[in-house]
Amino acid sequence: MSIEISAKSITPIRLSYGNLIERFGDKRPPSRYQEAAYDVQPTANFHYRPLWDKNHEIYDTSRTAIVMEDWYSFADPRQYYYGTYTIARSKQQEVAEHNYAFVDKRDLLEELPDDIKQSVRDILIPLRHIEWGANMNNCQIDCMGYGSTICSVAMFNAMDRLGMAQYITRIGLLLDGNETTTLDAAKKDWMEGPQWQGLRHAVEDMFVLEDWFELMVAQNFVLDGLLFPLFWDRFERKLSKNGGGTIAMLTEFMPQWYSETVRWTNALAKVTAAESKENKELLSTWLNKWVSRLCEAIEPVAVEAFGPEGTSELAEVKEELLARLGKQGLTI
């Protein structure tokens, strides 16, 4: 027997908010992503100039040299609004929580060969400071950027980076039975170790960049595009090959996060470069500057991580990055 469900139908007077009808027509209702992300930011009739930046309005397109006819040309391919974002992360978080508890309960890090433990301490733990820097930089992109699609992506990204900094911190604590020896040593390396100074210098220079889109290129396109494949993929695999597979259980979040995140950085790179010759040139200049600066900065850490092969590992990662960005229209 079939059941027929009939609902009382009431004809709507419109299918969507006006801004979305203008953008996408009124053939079908817009997605929740479109409702949440488009045109939320004020664009006109600002009342007061910021006391902290009298040269700009509160929201101002001139905080970057990039020029867009429509700052809403970019759309997040993941279609994240707050709900879909937190639900996606909570699923990843649940897996991570399970893995951390499992490793902790069975003292699995205890079983690791000493040289693997040392590699984790030397290479992976200091990366928490880089994640913290990435958190600050994405907050900066959010608060200086333009358009609620780009800014909300930056906000989600900022929180992701805080989350990853906290996961790395937990690995450090697990290594030491909740003592901070490893964390303290990693901080000392980050502050003083010669192999890390190029990177720290570069990150600190990013903190004072005036153009938020240059910061986007430096942090989210280039630094992440080099670091994540190099350390959270290639170096992880090296550790696993040498008996450090347990570590991969604790860092699963990072490569997963990165492969998801390149979707929107690709989309943003593509739409921005396609806008104009001037944008394309600007992006190339920034790309050039930060690829060479950051490759140089990462090299000593790469060598520490991989030995003499570090240089070629880094070169391969760089080629992959340039090839990927090349497909989006960004060239050196």
User: Contacts with other proteins in 107-166 (CB under 8 A)?
Assistant: 110, 128-129, 131-132, 135-136, 139-140, 142-143, 148, 151-152, 155-156, 158-159, 162-163, 165-166
Return the number of the residue (35 or 309) whose C-beta is nearest other proteins: 35
CB of 321 to other proteins, least distance (A): 24
CB of 47 to other proteins, least distance (A): 5
> What is the size of the binding site for other proteins (CB under 8 A)?
87
Return the number of the residue (1 or 44) whose C-beta is nearest other proteins: 44
CB of 233 to other proteins, least distance (A): 22
Return the number of the residue (140 or 279) whose C-beta is nearest other proteins: 140
Separation CA 164–CA 166 (nearest Å): 5
CB of 296 to other proteins, least distance (A): 15
Helix axes of 148-175 and 82-105: crossing angle, nearest 10 degrees:
10
Helix (H) or strand (E) holding 269: helix 253-275
Return the number of the residue (198 or 310) whose C-beta is nearest other proteins: 198
C-alpha to C-alpha distances, 309 to 124, 292, 306, nearest whole angstrom = 18, 19, 6
Asked if 195 interacts with other proteins (CB under 8 A), we say no
Residue from 194, 214, 198 nearest 206 by CA: 214
Asked if 327 interacts with other proteins (CB under 8 A), we say no
Asked if 220 interacts with other proteins (CB under 8 A), we say no
Return the number of the residue (40 or 332) whose C-beta is nearest other proteins: 40
Contact residue for other proteins among 64, 119, 169, 265 (CB under 8 A): 169
C-alpha to C-alpha distances, 175 to 31, 50, 108, 111, nearest whole angstrom = 45, 47, 10, 11
Contact residue for other proteins among 1, 6, 14, 69 (CB under 8 A): 14
3-class secondary-structure state, position 328: coil
CB of 311 to other proteins, least distance (A): 24
3-class secondary-structure state, position 193: coil
C-alpha to C-alpha distances, 165 to 170, 191, 204, 251, nearest whole angstrom = 9, 17, 17, 11
